[in-house]
Amino acid sequence: MDLAPQAPCNEKSDEIRLILKKAIDIVVDNSEYKHSKVVEWNGSILEYALRKITALPRSQPYKYIVTCKIIQNNGHGYHSCSTGTWNPQTDEHITYKFDTNNMIVVVDVFSLAASS
């Protein structure tokens, strides 16, 4: 099984990355990590990203899965993994990572072409 990253195939990859960056910039900005704010930040990032991504004009219908992880950057390790099966010609996984000296935010978007 080849687990090497696939070359970008999604016609909106760059736009999606910009949306993810903007979502994090709007919601988190230069905030200090606060455990009490994480649920709110996660929800706001996900809501903004999904609303903007689903509004992108597409050549065919897509389904999206968006996840957001916010962790305190305190020197402890963090590992995450996901897997799935898809059509590498139409589907894609996009990750955007934002980190500061006190917080790490990772947003993943799975773009899956909807069956016609």
- pLDDT value, residue 78: 84
Q: How far is 81 from 76, CA to CA, in rounded Å?
A: 17
Domain positions in the chain: 11-113
Query: Are residues 110 and 93 in contact, defined by beta-carbon separation less than 8 angstroms?
Result: yes
Q: Is 40 helix (H, G, I), strand (E, B) or coil?
A: helix
- pLDDT value, residue 26: 97
- pLDDT value, residue 31: 94
Residue 53 has pLDDT above 60, yes or no: yes
Paired strand residues for 99:
104
Q: What's the CATH fold of domain 11-113?
A: Ribosomal protein S3 C-terminal domain (3.30.1140)
pTM reported for the whole predicted model = 0.86
Residue 116 has pLDDT above 70, yes or no: no
